[in-house]
Amino acid sequence: MASKEKKLNGTVIVTYRCNARCSMCNRYKAPSKPEEELSIETIKKLPKMYFTNITGGEPFIRTDLPDIVRELYKKSDRIVISTNGFFTDRIVALAKEFPQIGIRISIEGLEKTNNEIRGLENGYQRGYQTLKTLREMGMKDVGFGMTVQDKNAPDLVPLYDISNEMGMEFATASLHNSFYFVEAKNIIHDRPMVAKNFEELVNKLLRSKSPKKWFRAYFNHGLINYIYGQPRLLPCDMSFDTFFIDPYGDVMPCNGTKDKEVMGNLNNQTWEELWNSQEAEKVRSKVRCCDRQCWMIGSVSPAMHKYIWKPAWWVFRHKVKSIFSKTPYSMYENKICCDYRDGKVTKEQLDKCSTCDLNAVISNGLSEASKAQLINKTGEEIVDADIAQQMVK
């Protein structure tokens, strides 16, 4: 268990409200009620962190986000905000106050693909322009985040090239199912096609001169393994030195579980009480036998640091190979890719290894009050009205 002084890795979900309409996430249909969302008082109770990710929903929907960031900087060495990039003015204003902050804008492919997947009018142009503005302001820690699926896999390398030309970070993910995404039916259909695009990206990353990119190559190699439904390449230690906190103050191990797993509530408890509670221990024992095999940066980055020798050995071997070959990496290094190609496993068998469950009753992790507001209105109507009201103020 973490000692009092040990710094943790935290993700702060400041809201479940979202103005995008992503095809792989139904969170926009299940928003939190603004009055119930994390208060500054609760944020003050969070522990010291070496890294904090602020996410949503869309975090910039909260007009008090600068107050939250100000408070979090008192306890965190590094902060990165994940956003859809829509509220350009708010993002730019925040970046002026905190030029050291990291901003990751979700872009799901080139313009047409992105706008279809994210369902945001002019989403690509707005995201791209926001990133360009931040770069022109001299911000260093800015980049793209892309969730790869069948539809946008062919855009993976072209989008990486754009981010590279702009000197930006390029974070990838693939489809996951969980209460957080209010989704259980996400699945990759054409695994070899998607893996081939990842393979090309891995080779480009390995050929770069940046050690950070070599380790990104390992992460993307792990994504191929994940989309074939195989066990994680590294152990998952979520809830041991890592936590997520949701808009209601509930502290959770991660955002990958099918239903919400709660270690305690920071509105009603101190951090020490919560972190050392029996409930927290129960969640930790569940994590030890969790079979969801997520491969998202939030759970993999701490593991890559903790078990550094494994990715480091992988990087070393592939860097040596890259002396002799322009394509030092092959997706067929993953035995499962060969087995599938050679007909030793079927698509149906691989589908069964995924977390996709067509019959699942999807939980959304909302409070009773947030659920109640959905009786007469849709989540989209609630959030649209909310934003319209913000705009006239």
Candidates 117, 175, 236, 280; binder of ligand SF4 (CB under 6 A) is 236
Segment contacting ligand SF4 (CB under 6 A): 84-92, 197-205, 253-261, 265-273? 253-261
Q: Is 222 in the site for ligand SF4 (CB under 6 A)?
A: no
Question: Which CB atom, from 30 or from 236, has the smaller least distance to ligand SF4?
Answer: 236
Q: Work out the widest C-alpha separation in the chain, in whole angstroms.
A: 64
Comparing CA positions, the residue from 16, 19, 12 lying closest to residue 42 is 12
Residue 229 lies near ligand SF4 (rule: CB under 6 A): no
Cβ atoms of 164 and 171 within 8 Å: the answer is no
Q: Does 238 bind ligand SF4 (CB under 6 A)?
A: yes
Q: How deeply is 33 buried, as exposed, middle or buried, from its count of CB atoms within 10 A (0-12, 13-18, 19+)?
A: buried
- Only one residue has tokens 């994680």, namely 232
From the list 135, 217, 140, 129, the residue with the least C-alpha distance to 172 is: 217
Size of the site for ligand SF4 (CB under 6 A): 12
Regarding 257 and contact with ligand SF4 (CB under 6 A), the answer is yes
Q: What is the DSSP letter of 60?
A: G
What is the number of residues in the chain?
A: 393
Does 197 bind ligand SF4 (CB under 6 A)? Our answer is no
Q: Minimal distance in Å, beta carbon 111 to ligand SF4?
A: 32
The closest of 107, 132, 131 to 120, measured between CA atoms, is: 107
Rounded distance between C-alpha atoms, residue 201 and residue 88, angstroms? 29
Cβ-proximal residues to 282 (8 Å cutoff; 6+ apart), any chain: none
- DSSP 8-state assignment for residue 290: -
Candidate list 130, 299, 334, 354; residue touching ligand SF4; CB under 6 A: 299
Tokens of 257: 């579980």
- Considering only the stretches 54-62, 133-141, 254-262, 309-317, report the one whose residues sit in contact with ligand SF4 under the rule CB under 6 A: 254-262
Question: Between residues 31 and 253, which has the closer beta carbon with respect to ligand SF4?
Answer: 253
For residues 141 and 375, give the distance between their C-alpha atoms in angstroms, rounded to a whole number: 41
- Of the candidate spans 24-32, 251-259, 319-327, 372-380, the one that interacts with ligand SF4 by CB under 6 A turns out to be 251-259
Q: Least distance to ligand SF4 from the beta carbon of 250, Å? A: 15
Among the candidate windows 221-229, 290-298, 325-333, 376-384, which touches ligand SF4 by CB under 6 A?
290-298
- According to the binding rule CB under 6 A, does residue 294 interact with ligand SF4? yes
- When asked if residue 11 is in the footprint of ligand SF4 (CB under 6 A), the reply is no
**Which residues of the shown chain bind ligand SF4 in the complex (CB under 6 A)?**
236, 238, 253-254, 256-257, 287, 290, 292-294, 299
